[in-house]
């Protein structure tokens, strides 16, 4: 297939997808915390952007998943259908997705020295 490319917007800037809806989702009993935090159910988690995923391991909110694949398979609740579709893929079919996810890096912060 064709190599994916970022498209530029009308101002000539690159448009980069967030890869998150930033909403809270019920992720099922596997990922449930032991207590509520800030009035939010222990079973709900805000979906973070996937930017920087390649350098953010271990994965999940508490670091329990050593790999992206383990993190995907730990999801349940609202993510059960997506997890099951991923589980039904062969290793050869999963590989491009894992490569894509690990390619999502965040630009390093620029530090401007003070003089």
Average pLDDT over residues 54-75: 88
Query: So what's the pLDDT on residue 108?
Result: 64
- Within the chain, how many helices (H) and strands (E) appear? 3, 2
Query: So what's the pLDDT on residue 3?
Result: 62
Average pLDDT over residues 41-46: 77
């000539």: which residue's tokens? 12
pLDDT confidence band for 104 (50 / 70 / 90): confident
Q: Which of 62, 75, 73 is CA-nearest to residue 98? A: 73
User: Structural domain boundaries of the chain?
Assistant: 24-103
pTM (predicted TM-score): 0.70
Average pLDDT over residues 27-47: 75
């Amino acid at each position: 297939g064709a190599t994916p490319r970022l498209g530029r917007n009308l101002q000539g800037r690159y448009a980069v997808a967030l890869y998150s809806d930033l909403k809270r989702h019920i992720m099922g009993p596997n990922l449930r915390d032991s207590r509520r935090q800030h009035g939010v159910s222990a079973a709900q988690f805000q979906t973070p952007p996937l930017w920087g995923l390649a350098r953010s391991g271990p994965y999940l909110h508490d670091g329990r998943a050593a790999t992206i694949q383990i993190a995907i398979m730990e999801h349940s609740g609202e993510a059960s259908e997506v997890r099951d579709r991923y589980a039904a893929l062969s290793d050869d079919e999963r590989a491009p997705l894992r490569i894509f996810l690990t390619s999502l890096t965040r630009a390093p912060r620029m530090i401007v020295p003070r003089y």
